[in-house]
Structure 1
Amino acid sequence: MLIRRAMLLDGRSVDIRTGAQITEVASDLEPQPEESVLDAAGGTVIPGLHDHHVHVHSAAAAADSLRVGVAEVGDRDDLARALAGAQVGADGWIRAVGYHESVAGPLDRHRLDTLAPSVPVRIQHRSGILWTLNSAGLAAVGLADHPDGRLRSADRTWSDALARRATALDELSNRLSGYGVTGLTDATPNLDIADIVKLEEAHRQGGLQQRVHHLAPGKRILHDESLDLDELIDWTVRRHRDNAPVAVHCVTAAQLVITIAALRAAGTHPDDRIEHAAVVPDDCVAEIAALGVTVVTQPNFVAERGDQYLTDVPADEHPQLWRLASLLDAGIPVALSTDMPFGEGDPWAAMRAAVHRRTPGGAVLGAAERVDARTALDLFLGTATQPAVPRTVAEGQPGDLCVLEVTPERLLRDLDGRAVVATVIDGQVAYRRTA
């Protein structure tokens, strides 16, 4: 296809000929026979966005799940009313997501039995790592005698007993295409080869248009109550021995410290990653830089959960939350993501959060960690295998592009996904705004 009258971020006005790869970028290119033409009409064309840490199946399932986060339910009575009015899915379950203890305290099977209908109910913590099932739900997965109903998401010994409902991957894909997203890195842990093949087949058949890269089996979630340095070193060594990288989930200072220690002992692979780095103490910044590993982080949580951080996290630790500028200044390779569905999934909102770092209530959290708009955009322009290296619109680059109706100056001023008018994946139009 040929994209005409495009503005690039550097201010050049060009035409772009592309298939699976961009083949020409020049002025006044003539359409070839049977070549489709897209008129950018002076709008900006950038490489398609890549969201570097998402959970694809969870995001698709979340679209028709009951949301019970702090924005939706205020207290125990609100939660009980929401569950009582929830629609039971075709699989016989009520599936709820986004829960935080500030709503109605810590959940277990007994408290959930008093709040929920007698049908199977499962509620996911907003961190994504924990589900709480009521007694009916525990019986449905063969765990009627479980003491508290609190089950880890990554534990397939219970989740494989669930009747898998079809998830709307095509609806998720269309929504992401509307943001200009052309690639995803799935960070779901413990995926087996069958899970990966299914997603690849969905991509081939067009139900999931975005290119998908998988961190599994090299993704590891850590839990503070069971940190084991020797085991983490052994696992990392085994991965590296197979010339494979690791990606380690670090949302607490303790998890980050033990990950740094493990990577220092095991050595590093060029593609090793630290996921989230939600809390980075001052003395860890230089240690991460010395390792040379990439950090994939989510400043969107400042905009989504920042007011709660201000309440729950001691004030002297606020500068450690969701760092960005200090990591970049230290020479650490960094890429951004949304952590969808645990984050909202809009990469443009994540960029704005990186620039402004405003909480929902309007406070600034971590002013020193703000970056400029071009940096925020670049951190979504890497590839799956080189997340910290932004792509450009140039010959030889992939034919994955985002067309916006605004000038480069307006794009960087607003960072607003509503300006996306077309998304091109592999040289084909995956999304085109109709109104």
Structure 2
Amino acid sequence: MSGLLIRDAEVAGRRCSVRVRGGVVAELGTGLVRAPGEEEIDAAGGALLPGLTDHHLHLFALAATVSSVRCGPPDVRDRPALRAALHRAAPDRHGWVRGVGYDERVTGPLDATGLDALRADVPVRVQHRSGALWMLNSLAGERAGLAHGNHPGIERDDAGRPTGRLWRADGWLRDRLPGAPAPSLAAVGRRLARYGITAVTDATPSLTPAAVGRLTEEARSGRLPQRLLLLGAPLGTPSTARPAPGPWKIVLADSELPDFTELTEEIGAAHRRGRPVAVHTVTAVSLALLLAALERTGMLAGDRVEHAAVVPAEAVPVVRRLGLRVVTQPGFLADRGDGFLDGSPPHEHADLYRCASFLRAGVPLALSSDAPYGPLDPWAVISAAITRRVPGGRTANPAERVTATQALAAYLSPPRSPGSGPPRLVPGVPADLVLLAVPPAEALSDPSADLVRLTLIGGRIRYLRS
């Protein structure tokens, strides 16, 4: 294919045709005709948009869910269903069973004893839906050497014995599991393209050189066709590297918050390397710690807050004054918002996953999935930002609802400047585009992934609805 002519699309409010050639948008106009050797697609008035960016997900964890057993809603809702699911699961080639998405609503907190009662004949490890906790049965704990482990995330009982619960110990646990190649990202790449996503930011913290190498190979091979930014790329990674390093990821885990000096030193070290920071905060306490630290260290353009799950009203103007960007996930409300509302004090309900407050204050706001821990479908996340409806039918603080246009714009900002607004489609820009089957107004009235008709990345067709 020497090029592509997308005929009669709606672009920024006007009907026109768009020529793609050499990986970029070459021409826009009303009188364009198909050139020899050029492919042509009749948009029939459908919206042609810049490609969507998922500003926060975890690629290898997302790929690994394919070979994992689901251990939480909607697939599993009670103890008998969890037992059945774990027994149906085929162990991997090393004899392990890997579960994901566990929710305490299924059968309460799980530890080694609880997992043994569900399945004890093979080593089993189950990840909590938040991604922050692994739960191992006794056989898995023995194989991983929990009794002699020294990671601070290893939970122990009053006698000093491991309970089988590991908090934010992914790297430690990975080093003690049977060796396995990283999963291919080909299926993930196809799924992202199906949704119209042309760029992603992997938010996995502290990536090892080996992990960066695997991600690089997936991107260079085309198995992951999306443009890729890495928050966890080691400090010192050249800005010209591909995949590109993004802001330095810092996790403020409420199970073990760093002290103030430690946090300011880490932020300062990143800033001195020319790297902004992207800081995970899901509680008011961790957000207050971050804001105080940034007051001390000063800001670097591009510093951002990840999640911002609980933000007191008084913190919003501080976020604005400091010049922070916010990358949040209202999709969690649609996915499991009942648990948030029922499990938090009423005075915090107005603070959950704020969106409109940030926009009113002039804070750059981007939406994302946090997949596999949140729903990957960006159109579902956009709908959640518009309605803020939780599964049981309640609305989580309707004052934080945003318009459909605002929600879509929060997915269209470029990877390096989340929340900055959609790029303009003009000649010379990379042809990272998504064509919808209907005009913009109709698409925004009922956002759905089913409306995605075509996805281009660098001018190459990565998804075309048959």
> Is TM-score (shorter-chain normalized) higher than 0.5?
yes
**Correspondence for 2:16:** 14
Of 160, 166, 172, which aligns to 2:188?
A: 172
**Correspondence for 1:161:** 176
d(CA) in 2 for partners of 1:409 and 1:75?
42
Preserved CA contact (<8 Å) 2:10 2:45: no
d(CA) in 2 for partners of 1:219 and 1:315?
31
Preserved CA contact (<8 Å) 1:90 1:165: no
Q: How far apart are residue 145 of structure 1 and its match?
A: 4.9
Q: How far apart are residue 212 of structure 1 and its match?
A: 1.1
- Change in Cα spacing, 1:235 to 1:391, as seen in structure 2 (3 Å) is same
**Correspondence for 1:4:** 6
Of 302, 305, 308, which aligns to 1:277?
A: 308
d(CA) in 1 for partners of 2:409 and 2:418?
10
Q: How far apart are residue 84 of structure 1 and its match?
A: 1.9
Identity rate, percent: 45
Preserved CA contact (<8 Å) 2:123 2:140: yes
- Change in Cα spacing, 1:6 to 1:168, as seen in structure 2 (3 Å) is farther
TM-score (norm 2): 0.89
**Correspondence for 2:165:** 150
**Correspondence for 1:244:** 275
Of 48, 62, 82, which aligns to 1:79?
A: 82
**Correspondence for 1:198:** 214
Preserved CA contact (<8 Å) 2:311 2:354: yes
Q: How far apart are residue 154 of structure 1 and its match?
A: 4.7
Q: How far apart are residue 404 of structure 1 and its match?
A: 1.1
Question: Which SS does the other structure have where 1:323 is aligned?
Answer: coil
Q: How far apart are residue 69 of structure 1 and its match?
A: 1.4
Preserved CA contact (<8 Å) 1:5 1:43: no
Structure 1 stretch 218-227 or stretch 340-349: which is displaced more? 218-227
Of 433, 436, 442, which aligns to 1:401?
A: 433
d(CA) in 1 for partners of 2:102 and 2:183?
21
User: How many residues are treated as equivalent by the alignment?
Assistant: 434
d(CA) in 1 for partners of 2:10 and 2:55?
23
Uncovered stretches (5+) of structure 2, i.e. residues with no partner:
150-161, 235-247
- Change in Cα spacing, 1:304 to 1:363, as seen in structure 2 (3 Å) is same
Structure 1 stretch 407-416 or stretch 424-433: which is displaced more? 407-416
d(CA) in 2 for partners of 1:310 and 1:134?
31
Structure 1 stretch 6-15 or stretch 300-309: which is displaced more? 6-15
Task: Kindly report which structure 2 residues correspond to 1:72-221, keeping only aligned pairs within 5 A, or say none.
Answer: 72-143=75-146, 145=148, 147-162=162-177, 163-216=179-232, 217=234, 218-221=248-251
Preserved CA contact (<8 Å) 1:153 1:159: no
d(CA) in 1 for partners of 2:285 and 2:112?
29
1:238-274, Cα deviation, whole Å (9 max, x unpaired):
1101111111100111111111111111111111110
Preserved CA contact (<8 Å) 1:7 1:408: no
Uncovered stretches (5+) of structure 1, i.e. residues with no partner:
none
Correspondence 1:286 to 2:289: no
Amino acid across the alignment from 1:191? L
d(CA) in 2 for partners of 1:43 and 1:90?
47
d(CA) in 2 for partners of 1:36 and 1:24?
15
Amino acid across the alignment from 1:169? L
Amino acid across the alignment from 1:206? G
Structure with larger RCO (C-alpha < 8 A, sep 6+): 1
1:198-246, Cα deviation, whole Å (9 max, x unpaired):
2122122111111111001411111223221110100001110111111
d(CA) in 2 for partners of 1:357 and 1:98?
22
Amino acid across the alignment from 2:249? K
Structure 1 stretch 363-372 or stretch 390-399: which is displaced more? 390-399
- Change in Cα spacing, 1:157 to 1:118, as seen in structure 2 (3 Å) is same
Question: Which SS does the other structure have where 1:335 is aligned?
Answer: strand
Preserved CA contact (<8 Å) 1:173 1:207: yes
**Correspondence for 2:29:** 26
Correspondence 1:335 to 2:337: no
Preserved CA contact (<8 Å) 1:54 1:184: yes
Task: Kindly report which structure 2 residues correspond to 1:292-371, keeping only aligned pairs within 5 A, or say none.
Answer: 292-371=323-402
Q: How far apart are residue 9 of structure 1 and its match?
A: 4.8
d(CA) in 2 for partners of 1:23 and 1:197?
34
**Correspondence for 2:49:** 46
Preserved CA contact (<8 Å) 1:21 1:427: yes
Question: Which SS does the other structure have where 1:151 is aligned?
Answer: strand
**Correspondence for 2:448:** 416
Q: How far apart are residue 166 of structure 1 and its match?
A: 4.7
Question: Which SS does the other structure have where 1:52 is aligned?
Answer: strand
TM-score (norm 1): 0.96
Preserved CA contact (<8 Å) 1:69 1:100: yes
- Change in Cα spacing, 1:71 to 1:211, as seen in structure 2 (3 Å) is same
d(CA) in 1 for partners of 2:10 and 2:439?
9
d(CA) in 1 for partners of 2:442 and 2:296?
47
Preserved CA contact (<8 Å) 2:120 2:137: no
Q: How far apart are residue 383 of structure 1 and its match?
A: 1.1
Preserved CA contact (<8 Å) 1:2 1:15: no
Correspondence 1:429 to 2:461: yes
